[in-house]
Copies of this chain bind each other. A is one copy, B any other.
Amino acid sequence: MPIKAVVWGENVHEQENAVVRGIYPDGMHETIAKALNTGDGIKATTATLQQPEHGLTEARLAETDVLLWWGHAAHGKVSDAVVERVATRVWEGMGLIVLHSGHYSKIFKRLMGTPCSLKWREAGERERLWVINRNHPIVAGLGEALELEQSEMYGEPFAVPEPDETVFVSWYEGGEVFRSGLCYKRGAGRIFYFSPGHETYPIFHNPEIHTVLRNAVNWAHNPAPAWKSITDAPNVPVSEAREAIEQKGPRLHADGEEGYR
């Protein structure tokens, strides 16, 4: 059964900026989805900001294995309710791949617990993404580095937690470096942040970028059933303790009472 991926695109620059529309006439999200659908094993569809509930209803998220997120100009227009819904699905086990300017999306900041800030420069300079761990599943099929002739510079310090795994570190022509591929877990969900993808360059037409995205979808997919109870804080009554114990001492809660939240 193929992995069900949804590529979420903000879809603003493609509508408003002639350069971006020229490179991505169908929108970046459609270009990315098409790349994911090449070959076997992934069935990708798209969703955009402009759709009702941004295309991310409860029902759709419930059947999504991996969500990819590209946003930039309109982070503030994303509904807080949808952000919480996505966060909950990640905790339950949905994979999340955050692309480029998505570093500043509500959902990424929500899951990292940090500002997710960085430095930037839009100068069309060369970027070289060095592979840190050659046998990581996300870099399967790549050589020792991935080169982008024109890229937006993203520079350190990148205000994120220390990652579980550093997959790529980038070199920039103008003298900066950036941890450009980082892995995290939040609850049962795997998260991959991948920094390339500025909208005025044809980065999402690059075959090596396609390879990384496909690998990342496979890596982020958690086949376990959704961990629905991860947001619960259940009481374990004395009668159900694994070891026989007796109620002792003063109590705040009466029998059967729920905890505070």
Task: List the interface of chain A (C-beta within 8 A of B).
Answer: 13, 17, 19-20, 72-76, 87, 91, 93, 101, 104, 110-115, 117-125, 128, 130-137, 140, 144-145, 147, 150, 153, 155-159, 161-166, 169-177, 179, 184-188, 198-201, 222-225, 227, 230-238, 241-243, 245-253, 259-261
Contacting residues, chain B, for A75 (C-beta < 8 A): 260-261
- Whether B153 lies near A104 (C-beta < 8 A) is no
Query: A225–B134 Cα gap in the complex (Å)?
Result: 10
Query: A145–B233 Cα gap in the complex (Å)?
Result: 17
A134 to chain B, nearest CB (A): 5
- Whether B157 lies near A133 (C-beta < 8 A) is yes
Contacting residues, chain B, for A156 (C-beta < 8 A): 130-132, 169
Nearest B residue to A226, CB-CB: B135
A9 to chain B, nearest CB (A): 15
Query: A195–B111 Cα gap in the complex (Å)?
Result: 22
With A133-B157, A185-B162, A230-B115 as given contacts, are A200 and B252 in contact (CB-CB < 8 Å)? yes
A261 contacts which of B104, B184, B198, B253 (Cβ < 8 Å)? B104
Query: A179–B125 Cα gap in the complex (Å)?
Result: 22
Of A155, A225, A250, A261, most buried by chain B (CB within 10 Å of CB) is A250
Query: A140–B150 Cα gap in the complex (Å)?
Result: 35
Contacting residues, chain B, for A147 (C-beta < 8 A): 242
- Whether A113 lies near B113 (C-beta < 8 A) is yes
